[in-house]
Amino acid sequence: MKLITWNVNGLRACVGKGNFLEFFLAEDADIFAVQETKLQEGQISLDLPGYTQYFNSAEKKGYSGVAVFTRHEPIAVTRGIGIAEHDREGRVLTLEFENFFFVAVYTPNSQDELRRLPYRCTWEDAFAAYLCALDAKKPVIACGDLNVAHAEIDLKRPKDNRMNAGFTDEERGKMSALLSRGFVDAFRALYPARLDAYTWWSFRMQARERNVGWRIDYFLLSERLRPCLRECTLRPDVYGSDHCPVVIEMEEPCG
Protein backbone atom coordinates (compact mmCIF):
# COMPACT_ATOMS: atom_id res chain seq x y z
CA MET A 1 0.00 0.00 0.00
CA LYS A 2 1.47 3.35 -1.06
CA LEU A 3 0.36 6.54 0.68
CA ILE A 4 1.44 10.10 -0.12
CA THR A 5 1.07 13.48 1.53
CA TRP A 6 2.00 16.85 0.00
CA ASN A 7 1.40 20.45 1.00
CA VAL A 8 0.86 21.87 -2.47
CA ASN A 9 0.63 25.54 -1.38
CA GLY A 10 -2.35 26.13 -3.65
CA LEU A 11 -3.71 23.15 -5.56
CA ARG A 12 -4.75 25.14 -8.61
CA ALA A 13 -1.30 26.76 -8.80
CA CYS A 14 0.47 23.41 -8.44
CA VAL A 15 -1.73 21.85 -11.13
CA GLY A 16 -1.17 24.86 -13.37
CA LYS A 17 2.61 24.47 -13.13
CA GLY A 18 2.25 20.92 -14.42
CA ASN A 19 3.88 19.38 -11.37
CA PHE A 20 0.92 17.94 -9.56
CA LEU A 21 -0.71 15.73 -12.17
CA GLU A 22 2.62 14.52 -13.52
CA PHE A 23 3.71 13.37 -10.07
CA PHE A 24 0.29 12.06 -9.08
CA LEU A 25 -0.10 9.84 -12.13
CA ALA A 26 3.49 8.60 -12.02
CA GLU A 27 3.33 7.55 -8.36
CA ASP A 28 0.16 5.47 -8.66
CA ALA A 29 -0.64 5.76 -4.93
CA ASP A 30 -3.47 4.06 -3.10
CA ILE A 31 -4.27 7.21 -1.11
CA PHE A 32 -2.96 10.72 -1.78
CA ALA A 33 -3.49 13.58 0.68
CA VAL A 34 -2.87 17.26 0.01
CA GLN A 35 -2.83 20.27 2.27
CA GLU A 36 -3.17 24.02 1.72
CA THR A 37 -5.50 23.52 -1.22
CA LYS A 38 -6.58 27.18 -0.98
CA LEU A 39 -9.89 26.59 -2.72
CA GLN A 40 -13.56 25.84 -2.19
CA GLU A 41 -14.94 22.52 -3.34
CA GLY A 42 -16.04 22.88 -6.94
CA GLN A 43 -13.34 25.42 -7.83
CA ILE A 44 -11.18 22.78 -9.47
CA SER A 45 -11.89 19.84 -11.76
CA LEU A 46 -9.29 17.09 -11.57
CA ASP A 47 -9.27 14.14 -13.94
CA LEU A 48 -8.02 11.35 -11.68
CA PRO A 49 -9.35 8.09 -13.12
CA GLY A 50 -9.97 5.44 -10.50
CA TYR A 51 -9.88 7.86 -7.57
CA THR A 52 -12.66 9.32 -5.46
CA GLN A 53 -12.00 12.90 -4.38
CA TYR A 54 -12.83 14.36 -0.97
CA PHE A 55 -12.29 17.97 0.14
CA ASN A 56 -12.54 19.94 3.37
CA SER A 57 -12.28 23.65 2.67
CA ALA A 58 -11.95 26.66 4.94
CA GLU A 59 -14.83 29.10 5.30
CA LYS A 60 -12.36 31.82 4.28
CA LYS A 61 -11.75 31.71 0.55
CA GLY A 62 -8.23 31.04 -0.71
CA TYR A 63 -7.06 29.77 2.66
CA SER A 64 -5.96 26.47 4.19
CA GLY A 65 -7.94 23.37 3.13
CA VAL A 66 -7.17 19.66 2.76
CA ALA A 67 -8.15 16.96 0.29
CA VAL A 68 -7.78 13.20 -0.09
CA PHE A 69 -7.85 11.21 -3.33
CA THR A 70 -8.37 7.50 -2.79
CA ARG A 71 -8.67 4.35 -4.84
CA HIS A 72 -10.40 2.59 -1.95
CA GLU A 73 -13.96 3.49 -1.02
CA PRO A 74 -14.13 4.57 2.63
CA ILE A 75 -16.78 3.44 5.07
CA ALA A 76 -17.24 7.02 6.26
CA VAL A 77 -15.79 10.49 5.71
CA THR A 78 -15.56 13.13 8.47
CA ARG A 79 -14.67 16.77 7.95
CA GLY A 80 -13.13 18.44 10.98
CA ILE A 81 -12.80 17.15 14.52
CA GLY A 82 -16.26 18.03 15.79
CA ILE A 83 -15.33 21.33 17.50
CA ALA A 84 -16.74 24.40 15.74
CA GLU A 85 -13.93 26.67 16.94
CA HIS A 86 -11.40 24.48 15.14
CA ASP A 87 -13.39 23.35 12.12
CA ARG A 88 -13.84 26.66 10.30
CA GLU A 89 -10.43 26.49 8.63
CA GLY A 90 -10.77 23.14 6.83
CA ARG A 91 -7.77 21.54 8.48
CA VAL A 92 -8.74 17.90 9.07
CA LEU A 93 -10.27 15.24 6.83
CA THR A 94 -10.76 11.66 8.05
CA LEU A 95 -11.52 8.61 5.96
CA GLU A 96 -12.53 5.46 7.80
CA PHE A 97 -11.61 2.15 6.20
CA GLU A 98 -12.26 -1.36 7.44
CA ASN A 99 -9.01 -1.72 9.35
CA PHE A 100 -7.72 1.83 9.87
CA PHE A 101 -8.50 5.53 9.91
CA PHE A 102 -6.69 7.80 7.44
CA VAL A 103 -6.40 11.40 8.67
CA ALA A 104 -5.14 14.30 6.56
CA VAL A 105 -4.21 17.38 8.60
CA TYR A 106 -2.88 20.89 8.10
CA THR A 107 -1.81 22.23 11.50
CA PRO A 108 -2.19 26.00 12.13
CA ASN A 109 0.97 28.07 11.83
CA SER A 110 1.93 30.07 14.92
CA GLN A 111 2.77 33.00 12.61
CA ASP A 112 5.10 35.97 12.99
CA GLU A 113 5.83 37.06 16.56
CA LEU A 114 4.04 33.84 17.64
CA ARG A 115 0.77 35.75 17.66
CA ARG A 116 -1.21 32.56 17.06
CA LEU A 117 0.77 30.28 19.36
CA PRO A 118 -1.87 30.22 22.15
CA TYR A 119 -4.54 29.14 19.67
CA ARG A 120 -2.11 26.66 18.12
CA CYS A 121 -1.57 25.00 21.51
CA THR A 122 -5.32 24.74 22.11
CA TRP A 123 -5.76 23.24 18.66
CA GLU A 124 -2.95 20.76 19.28
CA ASP A 125 -4.63 19.46 22.43
CA ALA A 126 -7.96 19.05 20.67
CA PHE A 127 -6.41 17.31 17.67
CA ALA A 128 -4.41 14.94 19.87
CA ALA A 129 -7.57 14.00 21.76
CA TYR A 130 -9.31 13.39 18.43
CA LEU A 131 -6.54 11.08 17.18
CA CYS A 132 -6.47 9.17 20.44
CA ALA A 133 -10.24 8.66 20.31
CA LEU A 134 -9.88 7.22 16.81
CA ASP A 135 -6.95 5.08 17.88
CA ALA A 136 -9.08 3.53 20.61
CA LYS A 137 -11.37 2.17 17.85
CA LYS A 138 -8.85 1.07 15.21
CA PRO A 139 -5.32 2.01 14.08
CA VAL A 140 -4.66 5.48 12.69
CA ILE A 141 -2.52 6.73 9.80
CA ALA A 142 -2.28 10.52 10.10
CA CYS A 143 -0.36 12.67 7.66
CA GLY A 144 0.20 16.22 6.59
CA ASP A 145 1.91 19.49 7.32
CA LEU A 146 2.25 19.61 11.11
CA ASN A 147 4.11 22.94 11.01
CA VAL A 148 6.75 21.84 13.51
CA ALA A 149 10.32 20.59 13.30
CA HIS A 150 10.24 18.15 16.19
CA ALA A 151 13.94 17.89 16.99
CA GLU A 152 17.11 19.79 16.16
CA ILE A 153 17.93 17.19 13.53
CA ASP A 154 14.75 18.21 11.68
CA LEU A 155 15.93 21.64 10.54
CA LYS A 156 19.17 23.03 9.17
CA ARG A 157 19.74 25.83 11.66
CA PRO A 158 18.17 24.95 15.01
CA LYS A 159 20.11 27.51 17.07
CA ASP A 160 19.11 30.36 14.76
CA ASN A 161 15.45 29.34 14.81
CA ARG A 162 14.96 28.59 18.49
CA MET A 163 11.56 30.00 19.52
CA ASN A 164 10.61 30.92 15.96
CA ALA A 165 7.26 29.64 14.67
CA GLY A 166 7.56 25.92 14.03
CA PHE A 167 10.44 25.43 16.48
CA THR A 168 9.16 26.73 19.80
CA ASP A 169 9.42 24.69 22.96
CA GLU A 170 5.62 24.66 23.11
CA GLU A 171 5.13 23.26 19.60
CA ARG A 172 7.86 20.68 19.98
CA GLY A 173 6.45 19.68 23.34
CA LYS A 174 3.00 19.13 21.86
CA MET A 175 4.53 16.87 19.22
CA SER A 176 6.40 14.90 21.87
CA ALA A 177 3.23 14.57 23.91
CA LEU A 178 1.30 13.23 20.93
CA LEU A 179 3.96 10.65 20.12
CA SER A 180 4.01 9.56 23.76
CA ARG A 181 0.31 8.71 23.52
CA GLY A 182 0.92 5.84 21.12
CA PHE A 183 2.05 7.23 17.77
CA VAL A 184 5.20 6.83 15.67
CA ASP A 185 6.91 9.29 13.33
CA ALA A 186 7.29 7.01 10.31
CA PHE A 187 10.40 8.68 8.91
CA ARG A 188 12.33 8.73 12.19
CA ALA A 189 11.22 5.18 12.98
CA LEU A 190 13.16 4.08 9.91
CA TYR A 191 15.89 6.73 9.84
CA PRO A 192 16.49 7.99 13.38
CA ALA A 193 19.81 9.69 12.62
CA ARG A 194 19.50 10.79 8.99
CA LEU A 195 20.70 14.37 8.50
CA ASP A 196 19.69 17.01 5.94
CA ALA A 197 16.27 15.41 5.39
CA TYR A 198 13.73 18.17 4.89
CA THR A 199 10.28 18.76 3.40
CA TRP A 200 9.99 22.57 3.37
CA TRP A 201 12.29 25.36 2.21
CA SER A 202 11.84 29.10 2.19
CA PHE A 203 11.51 30.73 -1.21
CA ARG A 204 14.24 33.15 -0.09
CA MET A 205 18.01 32.99 -0.53
CA GLN A 206 17.94 29.85 -2.72
CA ALA A 207 17.16 27.84 0.40
CA ARG A 208 16.01 24.77 -1.51
CA GLU A 209 19.02 24.70 -3.80
CA ARG A 210 21.26 24.91 -0.71
CA ASN A 211 19.03 22.49 1.22
CA VAL A 212 18.52 24.90 4.11
CA GLY A 213 15.20 23.38 5.11
CA TRP A 214 12.85 22.03 7.74
CA ARG A 215 11.13 18.66 8.07
CA ILE A 216 7.58 19.65 8.98
CA ASP A 217 5.53 17.17 6.91
CA TYR A 218 4.91 13.78 8.49
CA PHE A 219 3.27 10.43 8.51
CA LEU A 220 2.28 9.43 12.05
CA LEU A 221 1.20 5.84 12.67
CA SER A 222 -0.42 4.11 15.59
CA GLU A 223 2.37 2.20 17.29
CA ARG A 224 0.77 -1.13 16.45
CA LEU A 225 1.16 -0.30 12.75
CA ARG A 226 4.95 0.03 13.02
CA PRO A 227 5.52 -3.59 11.88
CA CYS A 228 3.53 -2.80 8.71
CA LEU A 229 5.84 0.07 7.71
CA ARG A 230 8.25 -0.74 4.90
CA GLU A 231 9.56 2.62 3.65
CA CYS A 232 9.21 6.37 4.11
CA THR A 233 10.71 8.60 1.45
CA LEU A 234 11.03 12.37 1.22
CA ARG A 235 10.90 13.65 -2.37
CA PRO A 236 12.80 16.96 -2.66
CA ASP A 237 13.20 16.27 -6.37
CA VAL A 238 9.49 17.05 -6.86
CA TYR A 239 8.81 20.75 -7.40
CA GLY A 240 5.62 22.78 -7.65
CA SER A 241 5.40 23.90 -4.01
CA ASP A 242 7.70 25.12 -1.25
CA HIS A 243 7.07 21.69 0.33
CA CYS A 244 7.93 18.30 -1.13
CA PRO A 245 5.87 15.10 -0.99
CA VAL A 246 6.35 12.39 1.62
CA VAL A 247 5.71 8.79 0.51
CA ILE A 248 5.26 5.72 2.67
CA GLU A 249 4.92 2.10 1.68
CA MET A 250 3.41 -0.37 4.10
CA GLU A 251 1.51 -3.57 4.35
CA GLU A 252 -2.19 -2.88 4.59
CA PRO A 253 -3.41 -3.18 8.20
CA CYS A 254 -5.35 -6.39 8.60
CA GLY A 255 -7.18 -5.84 11.86
Catalytic residue, from 51, 135, 145, 185: name it.
Answer: 145
Q: Is position 198 annotated as part of the catalytic site?
A: no
Paired residues of 51 in beta bridges: none
Q: How close are the terminal C-alpha atoms of the chain, in Å?
A: 15
Query: Dihedral angle at the C-alpha atoms of 127, 131, 133, 136, nearest 10 degrees?
Result: -160
In terms of phi and psi (left: phi > 0; alpha: psi -120 to 50; beta: otherwise), the region of 233 is beta
Residues 144 and 218: their CA atoms lie apart, in Å, by 6
For residue 23, the Cα-to-chain-centroid distance in whole angstroms is 17
Q: Round to whole Å and give the CA distance between 252 and 229.
A: 9
Radius of gyration, CA atoms only, the chain: 17
Q: How far is CA 48 from the centre of its chain?
A: 21
Q: Is 63 a catalytic residue?
A: no
Torsional sign, CA 45, 32, 80, 85: negative
Q: Of 161, 154, 157, 191, nearest to 176 (Cα)?
A: 154
- DSSP annotation of 243 reads B
3-state secondary structure at position 87? helix
Catalytically annotated residue among 51, 54, 106, 218 = 106
Question: Residue 210 — φ and ψ, nearest 5°?
Answer: -95, 0
Which residues are annotated as catalytic? 106, 145
